[in-house]
Amino acid sequence: MLARHHDPIVAIATAPGRGAVGIVRVSGKAIAPLVERLCGKALKPREASYLPFKAADGQAIDQGLALYFPAPHSYTGEDVLELQAHGGPVVLQLLLARCLEAAQAEADSGKPLLPGLRLAEPGEFTERAFLNDKIDLAQAEAIADLIDASTEAAARSASRSLTGAFSQEVHRLRDALVHLRMLVEATLDFPEEEIDFLQKADAYGQLDQLRATVQAVMQRTRQGALLREGIKVVIAGQPNAGKSSLLNALAGAELAIVTPIAGTTRDKVAQTIQIEGVPLHVIDTAGLRESSDEVERIGIARAWEEIAAADAVLFLHDLTRMAEPDYAEADCQIAATLQQQLPATVPVLQVWNKADALTPDEARRQSAESAKQFSTAAAAGPAGEQAPLVLSAKTGDGLDTLRQQLLAMAGWQPAAEGTYIARARHVQALQQVEEHLDIAHAQLHVDSPALDLLAEELRLAQQSLNAITGEFTSDDLLGVIFSSFCIGK
């Protein structure tokens, strides 16, 4: 544990701004003398006391509730004091200053009452909860995800992770992996015993079961990561195809300016929408075309930059202009460029807009004929061949179908009751586990398995699993994770 983790800390634990209630939190070892100095009396553990909070000169700063949680029965595992006052910024700053001042005041021994008390860093209270084994790292991350949850589904999933649902999955995997490692390493350590673990202990079956379980957990973890992070969807197409209108229709608000003038959108307009609780970060971009206007050219260059960084691209066509050879040719050129520049894993969804300007039969015929101009790979990406998706951003017809297509592109499956929140690093860690188990599987099936290599792959797989819950985690990673928390949490 780093030296700074031994310092007592204090911070305002509620969000900035005015509110009905604000909280100042102190955490550290042996803070009971500070509690008595601040509150004027000793407090009963875990019992709220209504009392005045006084400045050094005896004048009241405020009246409120004080709660004292002696270690280890507290959020951080240390002694914790919470002062709950009225939520005005000035009041809370005065209370914070009073805590720091009282800590430096002399005790009867002539020494500071609580030496070293300092302002907490972002996420430091939760970091201490992790370091003191109150929660594991996956649960700590779930706390931040619960605070940041933007949908009911995300909040429920974060709550499941916080209660340990995800961690329990990881621990079950680890226990099975440790059992298999024990058999392999026993053979290495005691070759005279002639332990034939390959057949007697069904090592083949154990490893196959491990691999199948990892795949199942990874699938649920991908769904959890999708709930937390969503995907970036870029709307691309020629000017006046209706990109801004489509963004407005999906968002349900007039976010982007819409005019009949080609090139109205000069820069990206972004909005996060939610479909069945999944966040989709949708970006409207400048129309793609050759232009002599310097400002528009910059906007087009930025559009291609956004497309290159997209998780999925929505390629919008104007049904009313598909019969124009120049327009159709330009769309084909855009499709070819998308196919060249985007990885095969990034899907491109073809959408035909302005169906309201044609009869239903004309719209179906025009979109079907237009779809033939695009290759299967360019039209649908890894999802395969797709039927023409026809809609009207103006009237809203076809938007529900588009929303379901966007969910499918994101890889979302209807949320099961047991879905838990997860992060990209969890998915990456499980991928590493899968890779090591695949190598172990290959090694196990050669004629003369090298058991030392097999044991090493199993050890590396366990190390990747431990990184999820923090049982094996670098200090650098901890710094990155907890620095994203708010101060006071």
Q: What angle do CA 38, 41, 44 make, to 5 degrees?
A: 105
User: Is residue 473 part of an annotated ligand binding site?
Assistant: no
User: Is residue 82 part of an annotated ligand binding site?
Assistant: yes
pLDDT attached to residue 379: 40
b/e burial code for range 177-187 (CB count within 10 A of at least 16 → b): beebbebbbeb
pLDDT attached to residue 264: 46
Q: What is the tens place of the pLDDT at every residue in 208-235? A: 999 999 999 998 888 888 888 888 999 9
Q: How far is CA 130 from CA 141, 317, 470, in A?
A: 10, 52, 8
Sheet containing 389-390: give its strands across.
269-275, 278-284, 231-237, 312-318, 348-353, 389-390
Out of 236-240, 261-265, 319-323, pick the least confident: 261-265
Q: In the predicted model, is pLDDT for residue 12 greater than 90?
A: yes
How far apart CA 355 and CA 352 sit, in angstroms, is 8
User: Is residue 111 part of an annotated ligand binding site?
Assistant: no
Q: What is the tens place of the pLDDT at every residue in 378-424? A: 444 434 445 688 999 889 999 999 999 888 888 887 655 567 888 88
User: Is residue 132 part of an annotated ligand binding site?
Assistant: no
- Residue pair 370/352 in contact (Cβ under 8 Å)? The answer is yes
pLDDT attached to residue 169: 92
User: Is residue 25 part of an annotated ligand binding site?
Assistant: yes
pLDDT-based confidence at residue 368 (cuts at 50, 70, 90):
confident
**Amino acid letter at 390?**
V
Q: Which helix (H) or strand (E) holds 318?
A: strand 312-318
User: Is residue 261 part of an annotated ligand binding site?
Assistant: yes
pLDDT-based confidence at residue 360 (cuts at 50, 70, 90):
confident
pLDDT attached to residue 421: 85
How far apart CA 209 and CA 213 sit, in angstroms, is 6
How far apart CA 20 and CA 46 sit, in angstroms, is 22
Between 200 and 356, residue with greater pLDDT: 356
User: Is residue 394 part of an annotated ligand binding site?
Assistant: no
User: Is residue 263 part of an annotated ligand binding site?
Assistant: yes
pLDDT-based confidence at residue 97 (cuts at 50, 70, 90):
very high
pLDDT attached to residue 433: 95
**Look-up of token digits 């004091």:** 81
Q: Which long-range contacts (CB under 8 A, 24 or more apart) does 407-410 make?
A: 407/275, 407/276, 407/278, 408/383, 409/231, 409/233, 409/312, 409/347, 409/349, 409/383, 410/226, 410/230, 410/231, 410/278, 410/280, 410/311, 410/312
Query: What string of DSSP letters covers 134-200?
Result: SS-HHHHHHHHHHHH--SHHHHHHHHHHHTTHHHHHHHHHHHHHHHHHHHHHHHHH-GGG---HHHH
pLDDT attached to residue 37: 93
User: Is residue 243 part of an annotated ligand binding site?
Assistant: yes
User: Is residue 343 part of an annotated ligand binding site?
Assistant: no
User: Is residue 54 part of an annotated ligand binding site?
Assistant: no
pLDDT-based confidence at residue 75 (cuts at 50, 70, 90):
very high
User: Is residue 284 part of an annotated ligand binding site?
Assistant: yes
Q: What is the pTM of this model?
A: 0.76
pLDDT attached to residue 431: 95
Between 484 and 322, residue with greater pLDDT: 322
pLDDT-based confidence at residue 308 (cuts at 50, 70, 90):
confident
Q: In the predicted model, is pLDDT for residue 473 greater than 70?
A: no
Q: How far is CA 137 from CA 475, 484, 485, in A?
A: 12, 14, 13
**Mean per-residue pLDDT over the chain, rounded:** 84
Domains of the chain: 3-135 (3.30.1360.120), 147-225+423-470 (1.20.120.430), 230-410 (3.40.50.300)
User: Is residue 244 part of an annotated ligand binding site?
Assistant: yes
User: Is residue 483 part of an annotated ligand binding site?
Assistant: no
User: Is residue 41 part of an annotated ligand binding site?
Assistant: no
Out of 157-171, 354-368, 465-479, pick the least confident: 465-479
How far apart CA 138 and CA 164 sit, in angstroms, is 8
Q: In the predicted model, is pLDDT for residue 192 greater than 70?
A: no
User: Is residue 196 part of an annotated ligand binding site?
Assistant: no
The number of beta carbons lying within 10 Å of the beta carbon of residue 429 is 21
Q: In the predicted model, is pLDDT for residue 375 greater than 80?
A: no
Percentage of residues of the chain with pLDDT beyond 70 = 87
Q: What is the tens place of the pLDDT at every residue in 417-434? A: 567 888 889 999 999 999
pLDDT attached to residue 49: 96
Q: In the predicted model, is pLDDT for residue 173 greater than 90?
A: yes
Out of 112-121, 198-207, 243-252, 433-442, pick the least confident: 198-207
User: Is residue 31 part of an annotated ligand binding site?
Assistant: no
User: Is residue 285 part of an annotated ligand binding site?
Assistant: yes
Best CA proximity match to 392, nearest among 250, 190, 197 = 250
User: Is residue 375 part of an annotated ligand binding site?
Assistant: no
What is the chain's percent helix, strand, coil content, to nearest 5? Answer: 50, 15, 35
User: Is residue 242 part of an annotated ligand binding site?
Assistant: yes
